[in-house]
Amino acid sequence: MKWKSHAAITRAVCKELGVPEHYEEMIVDGAVEPDRNPVLVGRSTTKRLRVAHHGRSDRATTVLLWKARAAYLDGDDEHACRHLGRALHYIQDRCVSRCLSWHRHCLLEERIMELAVPHGQVINGIRHSKSSPDFIRSCVKAIRPSSEPFSALAQATFYSAAIISSVLDGPDPPPSIEEMLRRSSIIRTITLVTSAVSATILIFLALGSAGPLLLVLLIIPAVSMAISERRYRSLIELAEWHGCL
């Protein structure tokens, strides 16, 4: 996507949300930054890779959104805006198909640049927004590249609005988050212990008279542990998203 489109979408959403101009500029700067200064992934300094602008970049985008949220909760608005803008760049680029050739892709970007940002999609995105890590993850996953200019722009606008609104929403945890966490932690411990005990019994039985076929049943404690761990992690993330941990 061209810088003009990145800036236009981001500005339209910031204006609707009443983001002060100074911060709007920071988010817009962030939204064009990855084309000058790409986000790199990977641990090794020699093998770090550029995050794909028009391919799957879900994980890197989600990490940037988490950084934005953490900075926002810390009161570090400058970094919050920068990380949010950088994440928006990948979200908006992802809406645009790579097309059959680079030439076609450039034509598509130019046609998108000529269109006005659809205000209805700004409103829709804000209306559908929820402030939670599951929501931003689902948005990032749901994006599908389009080779039709208006559809690509509408999608980029909708998800930009939903995500900016989600990240810049004030901390508002569910009132019972601490109780939910406490219960989930107890369930997780019980599941862990019962799964470990039942797995041990199954292994002993399988090694004895019951035969190795019994090992198939190990899937039950494994699935139980995975489900309870997932629920617990999801609550921890929700608490972190709202600054409770």
Smallest separation, CB 93 to Zn ion (Å): 4
CB nearer Zn ion, residue 28 or residue 202: 28
CA distance 130 to 151: 23
Q: Find the residue with minimal CB distance to Zn ion.
A: 53
CB nearer Zn ion, residue 143 or residue 238: 143
Smallest separation, CB 218 to Zn ion (Å): 46
Smallest separation, CB 222 to Zn ion (Å): 41
Smallest separation, CB 6 to Zn ion (Å): 8
CB nearer Zn ion, residue 51 or residue 235: 51
Among 78, 228, 80, smallest CA distance to 168 is for 80
Smallest separation, CB 95 to Zn ion (Å): 11
Rule CB under 5 A: which residues touch Zn ion?
35, 53, 93
CB nearer Zn ion, residue 24 or residue 93: 93
CB nearer Zn ion, residue 11 or residue 53: 53
Contact 1, 96 (CB under 8 A): yes
Cβ-count burial 148-187 (b if 16+ within 10 Å, e if not): ebebbbbbbbbbbbbbbbbbbbeeebeeeeeebbeebeee
